[in-house]
Structure 1
């Protein structure tokens, strides 16, 4: 893959063999985000978990103190009083059965997160094949299957992100935008690491965080000192 001049210049300031402390890594990532748009700062965590075992799954959600910098559109599946509650909380779309053909047949995906009340999971389950692969299926562990739709919508709008192992046991999550201050990115990153440490599977033997890398959308990766992140 041919890299641009800006990427190569940014990469020169990063020692690929080094593992940086959080503050230094964030400063380097911010400095290397030189694209013409506000790049997302992402965190990639390679774990020692084996997601094929149920007792080594890592999945949950955390509210980043300063949000993600992205406006998130929320779809809520609800009925009765919960429809009004979801709309009052600021949900972008609320509905039930009538949304099934729109999503299934018309390919409507103008939303980023799906929340459902437990009594609507029978309806949402019919969309499993289309929502599942996109990572949009509501899940109790992530707080997106709940009767408290007000809290769910408020948390998501405030900057709640979901984390989970991918097929290679890596967690990929955004921690903010390049326009954020270093302090805001550090707060968000620390909140994520705290949540992941609390979610560490008790069945895991050996190292939890194998490697932790911060990167901007177009920039080079910066490795962090994992010994200082695990507890």
Structure 2
């Protein structure tokens, strides 16, 4: 993969052989975000889990204390009183069966998170092929299948992020924007690591956090010493 001049220049500031402390890594990552837009800072966590085994799956959600810096658009599948509650709680879109053809046939995807009441999962299930690959399917483990739509919407708008293993057993989660202070990014990062440590599968043998990297959207990654995070 070819990198531009800015990336290569920024990469010189990172000692690839070094495992940094959290505060050092975050200070460095802020300096590496040199794009003309406010870059997202992401954490990439390689685990010792094997996601092919059900008892080694990791999936959950956590509210970052300082949010993600992104305005999140929430779609809620609900009916009657729950639909009214969702609208009052600040959902960007609320609907039921009538949204299925709009999403399926018209390719409407102007939302970032989908919440559904349990009785609507039969309807939402028909959209599995569209929402699944995009990571938008509501899930009880991440708190997006719930009767408490008010809390779900409030958490999401406050900066709730989902974490889950990808096919290579790595977790990718945004922890804020380059414009955040070092303290805000460190708080968000520590909150995320705390949640992931709590989610450690009992069946796992060996090292849990294999490598932890923080990186801006367009810049190189900085490795954090995983031993100090356990």
Instruction: Report the TM-score when normalising by structure 2.
Output: 0.99
Structure 1 stretches of 4+ with a deviation exceeding 3 A read none
Find the counterpart in structure 2 of residue 87 from structure 1: 87
Instruction: Please report how far the alpha carbon of residue 5 of structure 1 lies from its aligned counterpart in structure 2 after TM superposition.
Output: 2.0
CA–CA separation in structure 1 for the residues paired with 2:72 and 2:3? 31
Find the counterpart in structure 1 of residue 209 from structure 2: 209
CA–CA separation in structure 1 for the residues paired with 2:155 and 2:39? 23
CA–CA separation in structure 2 for the residues paired with 1:185 and 1:220? 17
Instruction: Please report how far the alpha carbon of residue 11 of structure 1 lies from its aligned counterpart in structure 2 after TM superposition.
Output: 1.0
Instruction: Please report how far the alpha carbon of residue 3 of structure 1 lies from its aligned counterpart in structure 2 after TM superposition.
Output: 2.0
Find the counterpart in structure 2 of residue 184 from structure 1: 184
State how 1:1-231 maps to structure 2 within 5 Å. 1-230=1-230
Q: In the TM superposition, what whole-angstrom CA distance separates every residue of 1:197-224 from its partner, at most 9, and x where no partner exists?
A: 0000000000111100000001111000
SS at match of 1:133: coil
Instruction: Please report how far the alpha carbon of residue 2 of structure 1 lies from its aligned counterpart in structure 2 after TM superposition.
Output: 2.7
Gaps of 5+ in 1: none
Aligned-residue CA RMSD in angstroms?
A: 0.6
Instruction: Report the TM-score when normalising by structure 1.
Output: 0.99
Instruction: Please report how far the alpha carbon of residue 33 of structure 1 lies from its aligned counterpart in structure 2 after TM superposition.
Output: 0.3
Q: In the TM superposition, what whole-angstrom CA distance separates every residue of 1:149-171 from its partner, at most 9, and x where no partner exists?
A: 00000000000000000001000
Gaps of 5+ in 2: none
CA–CA separation in structure 2 for the residues paired with 1:50 and 1:11? 31
CA–CA separation in structure 1 for the residues paired with 2:57 and 2:89? 31
SS at match of 2:38: coil
Instruction: Please report how far the alpha carbon of residue 110 of structure 1 lies from its aligned counterpart in structure 2 after TM superposition.
Output: 0.2
